[in-house]
Amino acid sequence: MAQSSVLGYPRIGPNRELKKATESFWKGEIKESDLEQKAREIRLLNWNTQKNAGISIISSNDFSFYDQMLDMSVLLGAIPPRFAADGKSIDLHKYFLMARGLQSVPAMEMTKWFDTNYHYIVPEFYKNQKFRISSNKPFSEYEEAKAAGIKTRPVIIGPLTYLLLGKLKESGFSRFSLLEPLLEVYKEVLFKFKQLDVEWVQIDEPALIMNLNSEAKQAFLDAYRYFSEKVPGLKIMLTTYFGPLSDNISLISQLPVPGLHLDFVRAPEQLSKALSLLPKSTVLSAGVVDGRNIWKSEFSKALEVLEVIVKSRGKENLIVSSSCSLLHVPLDLDLETNMEPDLKSWLSFAKQKLREIVTLQKAVEHGRQSVLKELAENETVFKTRRESKKVFVQSVRERLKNISPADYSRKSLFRIRQKLQREKLKLPSFPTTTIGSFPQTPDVRAARAKYKSGELAKDMYEKLMKEKIKDAINRQNEIGIDVLVHGEPERNDMVEYFGEMLDGFAFTKNGWVQSYGSRYVKPPIIFGDVQRPRKMTVEWIKYAQSLTEKPVKGMLTGPITILQWSFVRNDQDRSLTARQIALVLRDEVQDLEAAGIKMIQIDEPAIREGLPVQKSEWQTYLKWAVECFRLTSSGVKDETQIHTHMCYSEFNDIIEAIAEMDADVISIEASRSQMELLDAFKAFKYPNEIGPGVYDVHSPSVPTQEDMENLLKKAVKVLPRENIWVNPDCGLKTRGWEETTMALKAMVQAAKAMRECKVSV
Ligand code: GLN
Ligand code: ZN
């Protein structure tokens, strides 16, 4: 019989119960046992929700207090020495310490999980590292479910994904030297499962969608051969997701595992190859319901895939499944009580996806005629979506067709623009500026919340925001900054703020998704063609500019960042959606210019995050991403100075694309790496102006003039001094005014000192 499964379920709780309990535990308000109790309630609810929906294979150990990779490190005993475990088991205090650190013990690093907005805690590897089972979590959660009457399929991260995604903390050894000891503990873990009477275990190996070298491929073979030899009888469902297996598909067909999961949402093209390579006895778990997006599944399309599988290998060994864990989508659409009914009818969150999977499974098992009603409903949904005037707007389509190559380029080359801008702006050398936001004090946030709930009238709210802007301008003038910003008091979030003013965007009330630990985000939904009903930022910036002689930068979020941090429509290419966003931002840029604004910053902190997992796809992505930035920024006169900002510090592999963006000035994060990243800019001979951040805004400590001068002295050794700007690493919205003022005063002094000192390349 065909079965149904999901690879994992959101663990945040319907009303973010896990966040609330976790944060209370951190503050010492509740005991460890209270937090454990909350966690048990969430797990039980999740299991029962899946069971009641009719899912036949339910996972356990998909719960986590913080992150599943961190859980693996703890399970395997890969505890970095600074958290000295002294053979004791890791309690929750120590667990959270590893994730969050303290002043005296730095946290483990965190990084993005493939191309999701979820962040995992990076395993640390040391020479001759020992591993041993150091947690009981997967076993006790299995038993907990069993006691509740549900026999689950426990899930763990596979040894190669674990090993390949970790970081070597010492030199002089290869990560593969750890494979053998690692496999030994994995074997023990599997053995314990077997003893507990587990029938199937789910082992996640998303690393199989990456380009693997021959050593990694061999390690895969070794690992799974070892498991089948050492723990015979325990059945492994090996899962891959987030993309195609590409040439790893032949590797995977050689692995001695009885079950395999493939992502047919991201990579439907791998179906025929999979069918020809996989033995008929392999249980095939087909990921046909999208675990990465919030759209309803189109049943006819999913059934096409499933029916091909059934035709070729029967339905005995088929599992209908989500493409990946449902961790990456919000929990329950039913909680959205205020949403437009048509939009709501197009969506499906985790709980709704369970039903979709079960319906599809039924269709496979008993034929389409067994679910005629559901199929008809589904067809109607897609018809209304396809025909909706909110989704397809003729004028937007026309405009896209009429973009001309000239729209992607500034009128003159940077050299010429730079000269014109210098004549017009008359800035000193080493001009000082900031990245946009100033401290969002509690009164600002409270006013925004009241305005949103209708408690505060629009004019009162605007008056208050204008006071904040005036205050920010006065403070900057007093500090002596050269290029000012309005401070962004009116913005909650750099993407939400713009999305709320654009057509084609929708927002949820409760659509939270875990980003990391207890940090959840509520991404906007881009459902339709993007239009700008009215100017978005002009009034605020114009007001700020009216208060000062110094130039005030207009401040916008770039098209790629808006795209990256939203749920994106799946009925057209991402690049097309990005171009639509670029066009409305282009209008805003031009309106700012027309309002007399001389400099406009277009933030793109997410360009790098958008890089596809497979390197072979990087160029295609970078090409359209850069084009979108240029479409946004190129409609202005040569004299208008375009800034951009990025807050990460790895540029080596994308420096060409950054240069192609052709912003007149780029500000970047640089202080944490002690300006080392500038080597990339030097080696490439980056031509335009650049503001390497001279202090880390994420740290509450106030940098001294000397700290910042030293960094600037490093900068002048690698960059032409006349191209250097002086600014912090990122926006200041999370900081307080006092520290900010002190830091910026010192920054201005450092810039002044640099103007005197003649050191250069
Ligand atoms: N202009 C934004 C700010 O200063 C930029 C934020 C960011 O780079 N993430 O807050
Ligand atoms: Zn930033």
Q: Which of 3-17, 99-113, 711-725 has the lowest mean pLDDT?
A: 99-113
Q: Say if residue 406 is in the same domain as residue 365.
A: no
Instruction: Provide the 8-state DSSP code for 164.
Output: H
Q: Is the shortest distance between the CB of 645 and ligand 1 below 6 Å? A: yes
- Beta-carbon contacts of 433 under 8 Å, excluding residues fewer than 6 positions away, are 481, 482, 483, 484, 485, 553, 667, 691, 725, 726, 727
- Annotate 342-399 with three-state secondary structure: HHHHHECCHHHHHHHHHHHHHHHHHCHHHHHHHHHHHHHHHHHHHHCCCCCCHHHHHH
Give me the residues paired with residue 217 across strands.
none
In this structure, the residue with its CA closest to atom 3 of ligand 1 is: 731
312 and 379 fall within a common domain:
yes
Output the pLDDT for position 497: 96
Whether 698 is covered by a domain: the verdict is: yes
Q: Give the C-alpha distances (Å, rounded to integers) separating 238 from 166, 224, 315, 690.
A: 20, 10, 19, 47
* Same domain, yes or no: 430 and 284: no
Handedness of CA 418, 424, 425, 430 (dihedral sign): positive
Average pLDDT over residues 667-674: 90
157 and 290 share one domain: yes
* The two three-digit tokens of residue 243, written as one number: 């993309």
Q: Reply yes or no on whether the pLDDT at 761 is more than 60.
A: no
Domain membership of residue 218 (yes or no) is: yes
Query: Of the ligands numbered here, which is closest to the C-alpha atom of 691?
Result: 2
Across the chain, mean pLDDT equals 96
Per-residue model confidence as pLDDT tens digits over 350-365:
999 999 999 999 999 9
Q: Domain check: are 375 and 459 in the same one?
A: no
Residue that is written with structure tokens 């009128």 in the block: 411
pLDDT reported for residue 689: 98
Helices 137-147 & 32-53, crossing angle to 10 degrees?
A: 60
For residue 523, tell me if it sits in a domain: no
Average pLDDT over residues 146-160: 98
In a domain, 89, yes or no: no
Residues 431 and 303 in one domain: no
Confidence of residue 716 (pLDDT cuts 50, 70, 90): very high
Say if residue 281 is in the same domain as residue 413: no
Contact 435 CB / ligand 1 (< 6 Å): yes
**Residue linked to tokens 């015979």:** 232
Q: pLDDT tens digits, residue range 382-431?
A: 999 999 999 999 999 999 999 999 999 999 999 999 999 999 999 999 99
Provide the β-strand partners of residue 120.
Answer: 111
Q: Are 646 and 693 in contact (CB under 8 A)?
A: no
Determine whether 533 is exposed, middle or buried from the number of CB atoms within 10 Å of its CB (0-12, 13-18, 19+).
Answer: exposed
pLDDT digits (tens, 9 = 90+) for 261-304: 999 999 999 999 999 999 999 999 999 999 999 999 999 999 99
Report percent pLDDT > 90 for the chain: 94
Give the residue numbers spanning the domain of 261: 3-63+123-329+340-387
The minimum-distance atom of ligand 1 relative to the CA of 647 is 8
Neighbours of 682 (CB within 10 A): 15
Q: Is residue 511 part of a domain?
A: no
Identify the pLDDT of residue 85.
64
Say whether both 658 and 580 belong to one domain: yes
* pLDDT tens digits along 606-634: 999 999 998 999 999 999 999 999 999 99
Judged against a pLDDT cut of 90, whether residue 698 lies above it is answered with: no
Report the predicted TM-score, pTM, of the whole model to 2 decimal places. Answer: 0.96
- Residue the block writes with tokens 């951190």: 26
pLDDT of residue 701: 85
Contacts of 33 (CB under 8 A, 6+ apart): none
Q: Could you read off the pLDDT of 453-476 as tens digits, one per residue?
A: 999 999 999 999 999 999 999 999
115, part of any domain: no
340 with 506: CB under 8 angstroms? yes
Task: Of 205-209, 536-540, 700-704, give the lowest mean pLDDT range.
Answer: 700-704
DSSP helix/strand/coil, 547: coil
698 a catalytic residue:
yes
Q: Are residues 196 and 317 in the same domain?
A: yes
In CATH, what number is assigned to the domain containing residue 410?
3.20.20.210
For residues 566-589, give the mean pLDDT.
Answer: 98
Residue 86 confidence class, pLDDT cut points 50, 70, 90: low
- Say yes or no: 636 and 559 in one domain: yes
Q: What is the DSSP letter of 107?
A: P
Is the Cβ atom of 517 under 6 angstroms away from ligand 1?
A: no
The domain total for the chain is: 2
494 lines ligand 1 (CB under 6 A): yes
Question: Number of helices (H) and strands (E), helices first, in the chain?
Answer: 27, 21
Q: What is the Å distance from ligand 2's center to 731 Cα? A: 6
**Do 603 and 436 contact (CB within 8 A), yes or no?**
yes
695: Cα separation from own chain's centroid: 24
Please provide the distance, in angstroms rounded to a whole number, between the alpha carbons at the two ends of the chain: 72
737 token code pair: 């005014």
440 C-alpha vs ligand 2 centroid, how far in Å? 15
- DSSP state, residue 421: H
Task: State how far the Cα of 568 lies from the Cα of 565, in Å rounded to an integer.
Answer: 9
Banded pLDDT at 759 (limits 50, 70, 90): low
Separation between Cα atoms, residue 179 and residue 219, nearest integer Å: 8
Q: Whose CA is nearest to atom 4 of ligand 1?
A: 731
Give pLDDT tens digits for 3-19: 999 999 999 999 999 99
Collapsing DSSP to helix, strand or coil, 309 comes out as helix
Ligand closest in space to the Cα of 556: 1
Residues 374 and 482 in one domain: no
- Phi first, then psi: what are they for 579, rounded to 5°? -65, -35
What is the identity of the amino acid at 8? G
Q: Is residue 107 part of a domain?
A: no
pLDDT digits (tens, 9 = 90+) for 331-342: 999 999 999 999
Does residue 730 have its Cβ closer than 6 Å to ligand 1?
yes
Closest to 190 measured CA to CA, from 149, 228, 240: 228
What digits encode the pLDDT tens for the residues 155-184? Answer: 999 999 999 999 999 999 999 999 999 999
746 domain residue, yes or no: yes
pLDDT at 650 over 90: no
Strands 553-557 and 599-603: parallel
Ligand 1 atom closest to Cα of residue 733: 10
Q: Residue of the nearest CA to atom 1 in ligand 1? A: 436
* Confidence at residue 137, expressed as pLDDT on a 0 to 100 scale: 97
Q: With 80 as the cut, is the pLDDT of residue 71 above it?
A: yes
> What is the model's pLDDT at position 105?
86
Indicate whether 550 and 624 sit together in one domain.
yes
| Ligand lying closest to the C-alpha of residue 731 | 1
Segment 141-147 mean pLDDT:
98
Query: What spacing in Å lies between the alpha carbon of 730 and ligand 2's midpoint?
Result: 4
Task: Give CA angle at 625 (624, 629), nearest 5°.
Answer: 110
CA distances from 189 to 159, 183, 186, 473 (A): 11, 10, 5, 60
Q: Is the CB of 553 under 6 A from ligand 1?
A: no
> What whole-number distance in Å separates Cα of residue 51 and Cα of residue 150?
8
